[in-house]
Every structure is written in structure tokens, then in C-alpha cells.
Amino acid sequence: MKAFSKSRVALLWITFLSLTPSIIAQETTRLEQERIRVTWTPVTTVALQQGIQFQPISVVGTFESLTADSLTFRSEKTNQFNAVAVQEISRLEISRRGSKARSGFFWGVGIGAAFGLIAGAACAGDDFFACSGGEVILGTLVFAGLGGGIGAGIGVVMSGEHWEEISVPEVARDR
């Protein structure tokens, strides 16, 4: 096996560094048109001088843009654009909706297959219900399929929305 020369190592580094901006660009689009919840406390110079403190505001809307200074989003309630200073944002969350059908399916398949295998092993060891190896495998597959269907159904019923907090400085750096 040949050892890498210095020129090959340099070429690999140049290739890696040239791909880095495209990787960062992919990260910056992760919020495009996402449903977000922004919590911030308005701060004005006059309020600070007079010692006035505002209560935090929390608004759900659709992400529009982010600059080094502000985050812009469209409010779901008013359908108007809001621009919030990045330094005023105390919490930024992304809505994660989704069905739990996939995970329910896999849990159901696992539990069903285990049940089918245990039932098949008990059947194979019984003199009255003697099962062959093929019947044990078939029973295991049938119970795995039934369990997967039941698990997917339960996952669909349990689906809903949850909020995932993201770091505001992290998002601002991505831009």
C-alpha cells in the first residue's frame, strides 16, 4: 500500500474545505417554512431607563428569515410578519409533528415475533400439538405481522405535535 504524499493530503484538505460551505448551506435551510414558536421579551432603551420590565411574549408562526440582528416570521394568529431582535429571543422551538406509526410498527413486529417464537417453541415441545420447524417460523412471521399492524395502529392514534428547542445563537451562526 502506498503512503499518501504531502500533495495528496493537501488536495484532500482543499476538497474538504471546498465542500464545507455547501454543508453549511444545507444546515441553513433547515428552518425554511418551518412552524416555529418564538418567545422573547421586548426591550427598549426608554423601558430600560425607566426600569420597566415586560412580560415574555410567545408567538407561533412560520419561519421566514434570519439575519445577524433579527428573526422574521409570520404569525399564525394575525398572519402578519414579525421581526424580533435576536438578543431579545429567550427561546426558539421547532414544531415536530409526526406519526409514531413507524416506531409502533417496529415495536409491534418485535413483540409479535417474540410471542410467536415463544408460542412456536411451546408447540414444538408439546406431544399433543407437535409443530415442525416450518410451522414455528410461519407462526412467528404471522404474529410479527399482526404485532406490526397493531403497533402501527397504536402509533397512529398516539401521534401528535411536540416542540423541539433549538439554540438561537446556533441558528444565527448557521446563517
Please state the domain extents for the chain.
30-97+160-174, 101-157
| Tens digits of residue pLDDT in 62-108 | 999 888 888 899 999 999 998 998 888 889 998 887 778 888 899 99
Lowest mean pLDDT among 1-15, 54-68, 158-172: 1-15
Mean pLDDT score of the chain, rounded to an integer?
76
Alpha helix (H) ranges present in 29-128?
Answer: 45-50, 101-124
- Give the lowest-confidence range in 13-22, 46-55, 155-164: 13-22
* C-alpha R_g of the chain: 28
Identify the residue whose cell numbers are 415475533.
Answer: 113
Which amino acid type is present at position 17? Answer: L
Predicted pLDDT of residue 48:
64
* Integer Cα distance of 175 and 172 in angstroms: 5
Q: pTM (2 decimals)?
A: 0.49
CA-to-CA distance for 164 and 39, rounded, in angstroms? Answer: 13
Q: Under CATH, which number does the domain 30-97+160-174 receive?
A: 2.30.30
Q: Which helix (H) or strand (E) holds 125?
A: none
112-158 pLDDT tens trace:
989 888 888 887 776 766 778 788 888 889 999 998 899 888 888 88
Tell whether the model's pLDDT for residue 3 goes beyond 90. Answer: no
Answer whether residue 49 shows pLDDT above 70: no
pLDDT band at 173 (very low <50, low <70, confident <90, very high): very low
Q: d(Cα 87, Cα 146) in Å, to the nearest integer? A: 53
pLDDT at 30 > cutoff 50 = yes
Reported residue count of the chain is 175
Query: Which of 109, 131, 108 is CA-nearest to residue 120?
Result: 131
Is pLDDT above 60 for 171?
Answer: no
Report which of residues 29 and 55 the model is more confident about. Answer: 55
- Helix ranges (H only) for 5-162 are 6-28, 45-50, 101-124, 133-157
